[in-house]
Amino acid sequence: MNTNLSIRHLRAFAEVAYCGSFTQAASRLHLTQSSLTATIKQLEQSVGLILFDRTTRRVLLTLQGEQFRPVAEKLISDFDTAIGDLQAIAGQQQGQVAIAASPSTISRLLPPVIDDYRQQYPDIAISLRDDSAGQIEQRVLDNDVDFGIGANHSGHPELNYQPVLSDRYGVVVPAAHPFMGESSIQWQQLIQEELLFLSADTGIRAQLNQFRQAGQLLLSDQKAILEVSNPAGLAALIRQGIGISVLPALAASTESFKELRFIPLIEPLMRREVCLVSRKGRSLSPAASTLLSLAREHFISMPLPPYLESITPEHPANSSTTPTA
């Protein structure tokens, strides 16, 4: 249709209209006058209309040129702001990042990362979605978030998992509990204990189920399962002396567990890996990419609770959760 016309022609038109002179406009556009003349000529011929009445002394808009001027100026301005917005996103002057992560990750790991990032890029909106393990992967798959942070992943073929932290399982006991003095506990010692669980859809519970199914630990003679949907509630029950629980060190290090004791489990020593989860084959926005790198850096260097260790990219551990002898 008007394939031969372009923003270039509009810029030329607007500048000549503004200057009332080809020579002057050409200089402002860093062009030669002859080139500008040719451009305006093209525009006029494409449109079939004289836009300027010119003598060597003065260049005036025709009636139609006058009418077209505001239209052209708006087109140019719209174009420039649209491109400018894109460039701003690229330059991270604006934009947004959305992350899905577990509650414990958000409260224990992310605050210093976010704080750091905010200071560098105060105009990027950040959205933290508090989701359970399975939901995190779904969020990433659905493009609801830029990336996720979570453990107990399902190894989805369309997702990329980059391990960042190794998180040790342990028991959480109240101050009065017999385990209190121990520095480590064997899984067998748990058999007689009342065990409290987080609801099935949380990563921790899913992990324990997996072990039970694998028969590595006999929990089948347990009483009816008592489960709580959120970690804070679980902590309250433990404080009450109702039972004890098995949790990863990360989850047990939140504020709710302050008065409780975390004792690492051995035989087998068991870990889960906290991974950065992103979509395979899809690029991250600059903002997301920066935040992800920053998170990785922080995770390597940040002070961590006991039994939580960072995994450096140079020594990538096996990406699936594994018991270690």
Binding site for DNA (CB under 7 A): 4, 6, 8, 21-24, 26, 30-35, 37-42, 54-59, 281
Q: Which does 21 bind (CB under 5 to 8 A by kind): DNA, a second copy, none?
A: DNA
Q: Which of 10, 4, 20 is nearest to 80 (CA)?
A: 10
Q: Which does 312 bind (CB under 5 to 8 A by kind): a second copy, DNA, none?
A: none
How do beta strands 59-61 and 185-186 pair?
unpaired
Q: Which does 161 bind (CB under 5 to 8 A by kind): DNA, a second copy, none?
A: none
63: exposed, middle or buried (Cβ count in 10 Å: 0-12, 13-18, 19+):
exposed
Q: Which does 59 bind (CB under 5 to 8 A by kind): a second copy, DNA, none?
A: DNA
Q: How far is the CB of 102 from a second copy (least distance, A)?
A: 23
For residues 57 to 86, the per-residue mask of contacts with a second copy, x marking binding by CB under 8 A and - elsewhere, is ---x-xxx-x-x--xx-xx--xxx-xxxxx
Of 1-9, 16-24, 228-236, 243-251, which segment contacts a second copy by CB under 8 A?
1-9
What angle do helix axes 203-214 and 133-141 make, rounded to 10 degrees?
110
By CB under 8 A, the residues from 260 to 299 that bind a second copy are: 281-283, 285-286
Nearer to a second copy, 2 or 192 (CB): 2
Indicate which single residue of 32, 34, 35, 46 sits in contact with a second copy (rule: CB under 8 A).
46
Q: Which does 189 bind (CB under 5 to 8 A by kind): DNA, a second copy, none?
A: none
Cα-based distances in Å from 312 to 163, 262, 278: 8, 25, 18
Count of residues near a second copy by CB under 8 A: 45
Residues 6+ apart with CB under 8 A from 34: none
By CB under 8 A, the residues from 97 to 126 that bind a second copy are: none
Binding of a second copy by 232 (CB under 8 A): no
Q: Which does 285 bind (CB under 5 to 8 A by kind): DNA, a second copy, none?
A: a second copy
DSSP 318: P
- Rounded CA-CA distance 321/146 in Å is 23
- Rounded CA-CA distance 143/288 in Å is 13
Within a 13 Å sphere around the CA of 248, how many CA atoms are in the beta-carbon half?
A: 29
167 in Cβ contact with 277 (< 8 Å): no
Of 6-14, 208-216, 225-233, 262-270, which segment contacts a second copy by CB under 8 A?
6-14
Token look-up 């567990």 returns 257
Q: Which does 33 bind (CB under 5 to 8 A by kind): a second copy, DNA, none?
A: DNA
Nearer to a second copy, 64 or 209 (CB): 64
Both tokens of 37, joined, read 């003349």
Q: Which does 146 bind (CB under 5 to 8 A by kind): a second copy, DNA, none?
A: a second copy
Binding of a second copy by 158 (CB under 8 A): no
Residue 77 CB neighbour total at 10 angstroms = 11
Residue 220 DSSP SS3 = coil
What b/e string do you get for 165-187 counting C-beta neighbours within 10 Å, with b at 16 or more? Answer: bbbbbbbbbbeebebeeeeebeb
Residues at the site binding a second copy, with contacts judged by CB under 8 A: 1-3, 5-8, 11, 46-50, 53, 55, 60, 62-64, 66, 68, 71-72, 74-75, 78-80, 82-87, 89-91, 95, 143, 146, 281-283, 285-286
